[in-house]
Chain A
Amino acid sequence: MPAVRNIRLCTKDCMCLYVCPTGATDTENSIIDVSKCIKGCRKCVDACPSGAISLLPDEYPPQQSKSENVVNALRTLAKSKVEQESLATDIAKLSDDAVTRQFAEAIAKSNRLMAEDLIRESGYMLPQSDEVRSLLESMTQNPPKNFPVEKVETLLKQLNSIHKASSK
């Protein structure tokens, strides 16, 4: 459970520097040095007067199971949103008018965000979940030409190693 800092909340009180036994908090950005951080120590979390530091969980419960009817209903909407996104993206690409492009880009972005949220709630919330894992595995089966299989394999390894580290 490494500590992380929310730089937006940090008020530079530096209490984390005073209490850290290893100097892991001596960084300017939000990333506390994971290699030095004593996992689960939480001295900096308790000392920070601004509540800017928290511990990242290293174990997650399984996702809530989803009914297939709910998943399909969410997918229907997500599909419609990505269609609207792509229509708007095409308008933005081909228009020579800056205001038209601006409006189309806002619509494209809005629809992408809605699609992401709907798909996420259809059972793909957590990158380390079994659902995501089996989706990634299915991508490596008979992939189309030019599909970046190696990227998916790297992801499977990385997300897996996080899972294993936590179960120790």
Chain B
Amino acid sequence: MRKFKCSICGYTYDEAAGLPEKGIAPGTRWEDIPQDFVCPLCGALRTVFEELKETSPIPAHTSQEDEHFESLRELTPGELSALCSNLAKGCEKQHLTEAMDLFYQLADYYKSKVAAHSSQNFEDIAEVLKYDLSESYSKANTVAAEKADRGALRALVWSEKVSRMGNSLLERYAKEGNTLLENTKLYVCEICGFIYLGNDLPEICPVCKVPNYKISQIGRR
């Protein structure tokens, strides 16, 4: 009997145990689970599950290009906007209300400088996201691991998980369209950005483990 782990939230499906509360009998092989199975904890598609190996060999990352000098790239208006809105939150936590307001106003200024897009479809988002998942995360993880930068590694773990979940949602949306959201609520975790589709929130965010009062519902207007 094998085990399969959700790469988003870490839930593990054990073939020996099955999932009786969802009508999957103990001993049900992964292949025999219904195709529309989603992670019972975070709602991710079965395609993001990975088989758990007893001893998973750690791939040896030897980057030759590391000491190649990279000069610091300038921040774009969009990045500056996110930087300022994050500093606003930092001020809020220190009860610096006036500084918080000023940082939010700067964030709005930079946001207004972000160029508008001509296209209007979710496929364009999916395309950019796929590049993150196939290229940018592995590169960033390698660089951050080499420098033993714990803060960077933590941020990368969270946002890679949130991105995989977003990717699986976009794939489902491409197939099902608006019916995907028909009889369900939609939430976003205020801390890590995890998107949850479902009516019963988990006790804690499956990605960043914050209590669920920090997870906000996105309404329909």
Using a CB–CB cutoff of 8 Å, the interface residues on chain A facing chain B are 2, 4, 8, 30-31, 56, 64, 66-88, 90-91, 94-95, 97-107, 109-122, 124-127, 132, 135, 147-148, 151-152, 154-155, 158-159, 162
Residues of A within 8 A of B119 (CB): 87
Do B155 and A120 have beta carbons less than 8 Å apart?
Answer: yes
Q: Roughly how many angstroms separate A106 CA and B98 CA in the complex, as a whole number?
A: 28
Q: Mark B21-61, 1 if CB is under 8 A from A, else 0.
A: 00000000000000000000000000000000000000000
Cα distance A8–B79 when bound, in Å?
A: 32
The answer to the question of B102 belonging to the interface, with a C-beta cut-off of 8 Å to chain A, is yes
> Chain B contacts of A113 at CB under 8 A?
188-193
A73 touching B140, Cβ below 8 Å:
yes
> Could you tell me if A117 and B86 are in contact, using CB atoms closer than 8 angstroms?
yes
Sample of 23 A–B contacts (CB below 8 Å) = A2-B95, A56-B95, A73-B136, A73-B143, A75-B79, A81-B159, A82-B79, A82-B81, A83-B78, A84-B128, A87-B125, A99-B178, A101-B220, A109-B193, A110-B188, A117-B158, A124-B86, A124-B87, A127-B90, A135-B83, A154-B102, A155-B103, A158-B96
Known contacts being A67-B147, A94-B120, is A121 close to B155, with CB within 8 Å? Answer: yes
- Return the chain B residue nearest A98 by Cβ: B220
- Tell me which residues across on chain A come within 8 A of B152, comparing CB atoms: 66, 70, 73-74, 121-122
Chain B's interface size range is: 35 or more
| A residues less than 8 Å from B219 (CB atoms) | 102
Q: Which residues of B contact A86 (CB under 8 A)?
A: 78, 114-117
Supply 16 further A-B pairs (C-beta < 8 A) apart from A56-B95, A86-B117: A70-B140, A72-B73, A73-B143, A87-B125, A90-B120, A95-B120, A102-B181, A102-B218, A103-B180, A107-B125, A113-B188, A115-B78, A116-B85, A119-B79, A155-B103, A158-B99
Contact B220 A70 (CB under 8 A): no
Give the Cβ gap from A55 to chain B, nearest Cβ, in Å. Answer: 12
Residue in B122, B128, B166 whose CB lies within 8 Å of A83: B128
Q: Judging by beta carbons under 8 Å apart, are B94 and A127 in contact?
A: yes
On whether the beta carbons of A70 and B147 are closer than 8 Å, the reply is: yes
Please list the residues of chain B having a beta carbon within 8 angstroms of any beta carbon in chain A.
66, 70-73, 75-76, 78-79, 81-83, 85-87, 89-91, 94-96, 98-99, 102-103, 105-106, 109, 114-117, 119-122, 124-125, 128-129, 131-132, 136-137, 139-140, 143-144, 147, 149, 151-152, 154-156, 158-159, 162-163, 166, 170, 173, 178, 180-182, 186-195, 213, 218-221
Query: Binding site of B, secondary structure by majority: helix, strand, loop or mixed?
Result: helix
Please indicate the chain A residues that have their CB under 8 angstroms from the CB of B90 in the complex.
120, 125-127
Pick the residue among B70, B79, B115, B221 that contacts A69 (CB under 8 A): B70
Residues of chain A lying within 8 A (CB to CB) of residue B194: 110
Residues of the A chain whose Cβ atoms lie less than 8 Å from the Cβ of B109: 147-148
Residues of A within 8 A of B91 (CB): 127
User: Given the interface contacts A68-B71, A98-B220, does A151 sit within 8 Å of B155 by beta carbon?
Assistant: no
Question: Is the Cβ of B71 less than 8 Å from the Cβ of A70?
Answer: no
Q: Which residue of A lies closest to B82 (CB)?
A: A115
| CB of A142 to closest CB in B, whole Å | 14
Q: Are B125 and A73 in contact (CB under 8 A)?
A: no
Minimum distance in angstroms from A122 CB to a CB of chain B: 7
Identify the closest chain B residue to A117 (Cβ): B155
A115–B79 touching, CB < 8 Å: yes
Is A121 a contact partner of B76 (Cβ separation < 8 A)?
no
3 nearest A-B residue pairs (beta carbon): A82-B78, A113-B193, A73-B140
